[in-house]
Structure 1
Amino acid sequence: MEPWKQLDKEYLVDAPWLKVAKEKCELPNGKVIDDFYTLWQPDWVLILARTAEGKWVMTEQYRHGSGQIALEFPAGILDKGESPEQAALRELQEEVAFCGTHENVKYLGVYPVNPDRHRGKFHVVFIDNVVKGGSTHFDSNEDIESRELSDEELQKKIADGTFNHPLQIAGYFKWKLATRAL
């Protein structure tokens, strides 16, 4: 099996937070696709933060794409030159006013957002024994509330669809698998 050859690319949207490209591609069998559309958004970090009491630190915020208030783990865009671990510690403080230490940070991996058409990636970082401290620092378009859920409560919310972000569920499942291996 061979990858496709990109023959041409035209950006239909070229903004800092989103790029949409129309690509002309040649398949290994010689067939040419004139209009394959791809998306790009900045890489981001998913933060699985757990308190010493075993509670997951969660956020609730409005998500315009779904038109709903969403229950999520904290997450955020990686700044230029920032490692996923550094971004996780920074975003945790900014979004929910929790602090973690470098020795309690575990990098769980990087995954494609959607390998079919999306060029963005997300990193999964687990931070254990986080503590409340400091204050939040929201971006101008953020309005975030924080909650703490036990593992049992979180699993119930996954089962009933209250917690329904598929990439975040995948990150949580990756953590579950990694902790079984320890």
Structure 2
Amino acid sequence: MKANNDIQKWKVLNEEDVSPSPWFPLLRHTVEIAEGQVIDDYYFSPLGDVVQVLALTPSHEVILVRQYKHGLGEILLELPGGMQQKGKSLIQSALNELEEEAGIKAHENQLISLGMIANNPTKTRQITYGYLLFNAEINSVQKFDVTENIEVLTMPAPQVLQYVKEGKIWVTDSMNFILKAALQYPEIFGL
């Protein structure tokens, strides 16, 4: 595949915060794109980064959370995680979310990076960072946010992979981190 060296970043001429609420930040950019064309109403959301943890028990069961997600109006099965917390590193946020949602306390040196995913780089400035935790144990108390009501489930890793194949786990970042972990650790996921 030949690289196209003519592709250039857009030039931001103006930025206006038009956020309807702190729950959903929204920016309006005036940008100059290729050949000097100006677009004065390019909207996108700088939602902030997200962390997720694929936690595996000593018997290689994946810890999942089941909760209502209002944007889709659905009860979904996914990996524990959430927004990067103000003043916290990505890893600190991942550890906090894991304890808050799943009741699992772990340490920074236990997390293994699964990389990062951009769900919609056209309309959001949000990256999801994934981590893997081996030998996870439910050893703490869940501490839900006001909008959370979470059920914690454990499931053998091969069954989790099957749930992805069948569309029972269909949240993008959870699916991708499960698949990435299965590629890196095929024996755990029955491949």
TM-score by length of 2: 0.86
1:41 equivalenced with 2:47 (yes/no): yes
Measure the CA separation in 2 of the matches of 1:26 and 1:7.
7
Partners of 2:51 and 2:83 in 1: CA distance = 6
Equivalent in the alignment of 1:77: 83
Q: What does the per-residue CA deviation read over 1:59-104, in whole Å, with 9 as the maximum and x for residues that have no partner? A: 0001111111100100112222322222222211111112323332
Q: In structure 1, how many angstroms separate the alpha carbons of the residues matched to 2:74 and 2:63?
A: 20
Offset at residue 14 of structure 1 (A) = 5.7
Q: Which amino acid aligns with 1:172?
A: I
Q: 1:115 aligned to 115, 118, 121, which one?
A: 121
Alpha-carbon distance between aligned partners in 2 of 1:105 and 1:84, rounded to the nearest angstrom: 11
Spell out the pairing of 1:25-174 with structure 2 (5 A cutoff). Answer: 25-174=31-180
Contact conserved, 1:7 with 1:26, CA < 8 A, in 2?
Answer: yes
Secondary structure of the residue aligned to 2:97 is helix
After TM superposition, the score normalised by the length of structure 1 is: 0.90
Picking from 158, 177, 180, the partner of 2:183 is 177
Regions of 4+ moved over 6 Å: none
Does the Cα contact within 8 Å between 1:72 and 1:163 map onto a contact in 2? yes
Q: How many residues align?
A: 180
Aligned residue for 2:45, secondary structure, equals strand
Conservation of the 8 A alpha-carbon contact between 2:161 and 2:179 = no
Unaligned runs of 5+ in 2: 1-6, 187-191
CA distance in 2, matches of 1:160, 1:107: 26
SS of equivalent to 1:42: coil
- Once residues 90 and 175 of structure 2 are traced to their aligned partners in structure 1, the CA distance between those partners, rounded to angstroms, is 18
Unpaired runs of at least 5, structure 1: none
Superposed CA RMSD: 1.7
Question: Which structure dedicates a bigger proportion of its chain to strand?
Answer: 1
Say which SS state the counterpart of residue 130 (structure 1) adopts: coil
